[in-house]
Amino acid sequence: MVPARQICQSRFHTYTIAKGLTLSTHKTNISSSPRIFHFNGTPLENVQGFKYLGITLSHNGRMTNASTQMARNFASVIASLKKS
C-alpha cells in the first residue's frame, strides 16, 4: 500500500511538470517518517528538524526550541536596551 504522503508527493510532482516548475531535491526533506519517500525517483532525506524562515521546526511539529531561542534573543535585546 502506498502511503498518503507519497501519493501527495506524486501528485505534486505531476503538478510541477504541468506548470514547468522544478523542485530542488537536495534542499527538500521529510520530517518524522519511518519510510523513505521519493520525488521523481530521488529519495528525500529524513530529518529530525529543519529551519524555515529562520525558525527551527522539530520533527513533531513543535517549535519549543524556536520559542526558547526567540525568548533568549528577546531578553538579550531588552538587556542591551537597558544598558544604553
pLDDT tens column, 19-64 = 998 888 888 877 766 777 777 788 888 888 877 777 777 777 777 7
Q: Angle 29-38-40 (CA atoms, 0-180°, nearest 5)?
A: 110
DSSP H helical ranges for 1-84: 4-19, 64-83
Q: Taking a C-beta distance cutoff of 8 angstroms, is the pair 44, 38 a contact?
A: yes
Report the candidate in 74, 73, 69 with the shortest Cα–Cα distance to residue 58: 69
Q: How confident is the model at residue 2 (pLDDT cuts 50, 70, 90)?
A: low
